[in-house]
Structure 1
């Protein structure tokens, strides 16, 4: 007798355990609910059971799973399932326990329709399925009186209430997952549509491949369209990776010379002797290996456009030769004496501060004035952050076309890219997108697929080591060099004050930091010292300060330390 009592006590616990295993083992909601009813049938010896749930998009109730009867017949109404009684339980949130279902008007027709030959009395249980909000549905169970003996229903009601709570938690979780999945699919569809519609902000021939709708790029587009139809020499200024070659090609396409050749030369990639032959050509036998006459780039570009990239890197002797061609429009081939006249449109580009180079006698002033006719300054990517999502989607679209994939960006990934510093500008962004897309294992490039979120982006270290001391800026050239003050001897035992910086250095001095309290200044200095000690690697500095990478990222932003790409 004691063993029977212990068994009766253990059965509900075993049933709860089995039901929790079923609900947590599959994502198929219909199968999980059907298995729950089968377990209840085993432990409660129930005749029929059903789970009714609300429609996630409305208030309608629908039978989701049944046991001991046909789901199709139950849904069609042929079995007379008492939806009115269940709806009352769902509406009030109060369980219904009917010892003899035949005595309840809401159940009489259903019980009479389903009774078999034994004609035993049937009890009906219906408990709401809910968690913390309004009920999501109801769980109903029918039990026959074994031998005509009425049961004590408190234990069954308590057990069914616990089961309904487990079912409610699972159903609520599935609804939330389905809603999140729907939002994600909608977001991906919207981003995919945006990627298909990525176009340049200015739909002008020649600018189709230049993506950007920021105010800074709008000024560049306007300058290009204004200057391209003329014959004026154009000097493109800007950091490496800002798209100077694409702008040069756009200038050629928008000019009257678009039907002629567009010839480009990277002056920094060739030695002086080779560069001279490349630009001016050479006669047969002019040097070892010159087995035939060869036209230079100036001749090939005759009537068209010649683009000289990295013009600030050419040597002083070659600068004089180039100046003559630009002034007179004529030259001689290497080893030749015949003067050749050409008609070209010159577009040059550099990332150097030519004004400082002229001041240091590293670049000829007369060549500088010949080149600097119409300067166009291309903004770095950090000054046009609104263009980063468009550029990122453009590069991802091109990656998909080249590799046969269908990747999209999550909104969080695009927001994270937009907050990065990108010292390598558009070229670095393109590499970042390609790297993230290549290593992405799913269909969506998420925030955690980006190198900066895994502390594997080393551009911050490179920026700290190779920070340009002379970025190209709009020149402010005085008419004459300012007089230098006579040096004053320092008094004995007192160190002389450092000399003031030259005028050209004014453009590269960072703006003064905002006024900080003593406590803020101390914390900011500790951050800077830790970052410098760790080579500007965020993860190492975080470990040194006892912080997490996320915490140190917030601290850097709080104090205005320009490491926004981390």
Structure 2
């Protein structure tokens, strides 16, 4: 009898074992994915802390203060600023330091939404609601439920979509395209634009009621040209980043290159600076970013110190100036040694130093500002 019981138990065990194994595998995977999800969210929170947004200028310190205050709330935020100033980075910082940080952060680029698909992309659609709707689709609002929806370039929405957006913001619910059942959501809205919405309201191209609904907590990100020495801090950061990515060892930015970076007006803001420094790192043949590694847009008479000379003359003067400065820095202001390094006589070097307004005393009494690792 005991033998029969043992055989029955063995048979039952062999039948149950695969199901138990599958259950354990599924739960182990589930726990692993949950742990990975928590780790990634923790990493994102660390990455997008306000303190990790680069810049120490007074305008940026004011931005950090405002981000710290509004992040702790669920208030709607309207981020204003020119293209390339880092509005999305600020939106990330707000979300990952908010009570909804564990929820999703969904970005909707309003400028990239075709008018015919905008409603479906924002609010979703039901299966069969139109030709090609083969399955139920959850829109950006539904995807962001329990978290934050970042409406980038909100000023590009049509008046029709503005009306639909206003209704959702007011009622916190919507219907999918082709659907009749309201979908309730709990979503924080962060909108951003590089346009003047006040002027658009006056022109009749942006709804006034939507403007006031979005403009609960306006946050203006300063242009790079208004951030002073942040240009150098950011340039240094980009040099470090792109050096690592390209397997190069660029240690610093030369003084003439720094002067050019500081003099330029940066119409493309931080995004343009990032592109400029990536190009410079690629072009660099030694451990220094030189003035001639920067693009022609920075090689203008105003930046190089020339008056009305042509572009070639200006670049030649800029290169000569940089080479003299580097030689004087390397020799601690010893004009004789600098002249030997440059392959010219002491008298010729003295004349050229005078033409550029340079004096050896500068290089003996203090080190010129440079960016080092």
Q: TM-score, normalised by structure 2?
A: 0.68
Asked if 1 retains the 8 angstrom alpha-carbon contact of 2:299 and 2:315, the reply is: no
Structure-2 residue corresponding to 1:272? 115
Q: Identify the residue that residue 421 of structure 1 maps to in structure 2.
A: 265
1:130-209 mapped onto 2 (5 Å cutoff): 206-209=49-52
Q: In the superposition, relative to structure 1, how do residues 282 and 204 fare at CA in structure 2: closer, same or farther (>3 Å)?
A: closer
Q: Does 1:457 align with 2:301?
A: no
Ranked by relative contact order (alpha carbons within 8 Å, sequence separation 6 or more), the top structure is 2
Give me the whole-angstrom Cα distance separating, in 2, the residues matched to 1:296 and 1:311.
16
Cα deviation for residue 416 of structure 1 reads 2.2
SS in 2 for 1:295: coil
1:324 aligns with 2:167: yes
1:239–1:380: 8 Å Cα contact kept in structure 2? yes
Identify the residue that residue 313 of structure 1 maps to in structure 2: 156
Aligned equivalent of 2:99, options 252, 256, 268: 256
CA distance in 2, matches of 1:289, 1:277: 12
C-alpha distance in structure 2 between counterparts of 1:348 and 1:318, whole Å: 14
Among 259, 267, 276, the alignment partner of 1:432 is 276
Aligned to 2:202: 359
Query: Shift in Å at residue 398 of structure 1?
Result: 0.8
Indicate if the aligned counterparts of 2:51 and 2:64 stay in contact, CA closer than 8 A: no
Give 3-state SS (helix, strand or coil) of 1:294's partner. Answer: coil
Say which SS state the counterpart of residue 229 (structure 2) adopts: helix
Query: Cα gap change, 1:386/1:539 in structure 2, threshold over 3 Å: closer, same or farther?
Result: closer
Deviation at 1:325, TM superposition (A): 0.2
Q: 2:183 aligns with which of 325, 336, 340?
A: 340
For the pair 1:211 / 2:51, whether they are aligned, the reply is no
Cα distance, 1:385 vs. partner? Answer: 2.1
Q: Is structure 2 residue 208 aligned with structure 1 residue 394?
A: no
Distance 1:277 1:539 in 2: 56
Q: Deviation digits for residues 55-84 of structure 1, max 9, x if unmatched?
A: xxxxxxxxxxxxxxxxxxxxxxxxxxxxxx
Q: For residue 444 of structure 1, what is the aligned residue in structure 2?
A: 288
In 2, the alpha carbon distance for the partners of 1:286 and 1:539 equals: 66
- What is the match of residue 212 of structure 2? 369
After superposition, what is the alpha-carbon deviation per residue over 1:126-161, rounded to whole angstroms, capped at 9, x for unaligned? xxxxxxxxxxxxxxxxxxxxxxxxxxxxxxxxxxxx
3-state SS of 2:107 partner: strand
Give, in whole Å, the separation in 2 of the partners of 1:205 and 1:450. Answer: 29
Contact 1:542/1:552 (8 A) holds in 2: no
Residues 246 and 282 in structure 2, CA contact (< 8 A), matched pair in contact too: no
Q: Which runs of 5+ in 1 are unaligned?
A: 1-202, 461-526, 532-537, 554-566
Distance 1:550 1:437, change over 3 A: closer
Does residue 297 (structure 1) correspond to residue 136 (structure 2)? The answer is: no
Q: Is the 8 A contact 1:423 1:459 kept in 2?
A: no
Q: Does the C-alpha gap of structure 1 residues 238 and 205 become closer, same or farther in structure 2, counting only changes over 3 Å? A: closer
What secondary structure sits across from 1:254 in the alignment? coil
Instruction: Name which of 35, 48, 64 aligns with 1:221.
Output: 64
Distance 2:112 2:72 in 1: 30
How has the CA–CA distance of structure 1 residues 320 and 328 changed in structure 2, closer, same or farther, with 3 Å as cutoff?
Answer: same
Where 2:267 maps in the other structure, the secondary structure is coil
Question: Structure 1 segments of 4 or more deviating over 6 A?
Answer: 538-541, 550-553
Higher radius of gyration, 1 or 2: 1
Shift of 1:415: 2.8
Q: What is the rounded CA distance, in whole Å, between the counterparts of 1:442 and 1:293 in structure 2? A: 56
Instruction: Compute the displacement of 1:299 (Å).
Output: 0.8
1:432 to 1:226, Cα distance in 2 relative to 1, 3 A: same
User: Take 2:292 and 2:264, find their aligned partners in 1: how far apart are those partners?
Assistant: 14
Could you report, residue by residue, the CA deviation over 1:429-459 in whole angstroms, capped at 9, with x for unpaired residues?
A: 00000111111222211122112xxxx2289
CA distance in structure 2 between the aligned counterparts of 1:297 and 1:216, rounded to whole angstroms: 33
Residues 269-320 of structure 1, C-alpha deviations (whole Å, 9 max, x = no match) = 1112222111101110111211000111111111100000000010011100
Decide whether aligned partners of structure 1 residues 542 and 230 sit closer, same or farther in structure 2, where only a CA change above 3 A counts: same
CA contact (8 A) 1:232 1:373 kept: yes
The answer on whether the counterparts of 1:407 and 1:437 sit within 8 Å (CA) in structure 2 is yes
CA deviations over 1:24-44 (Å, ceiling 9, x no partner): xxxxxxxxxxxxxxxxxxxxx
Q: Give the one of 236, 250, 261 matched to 2:79.
A: 236
1:549 pairs, out of 314, 324, 348, with 314
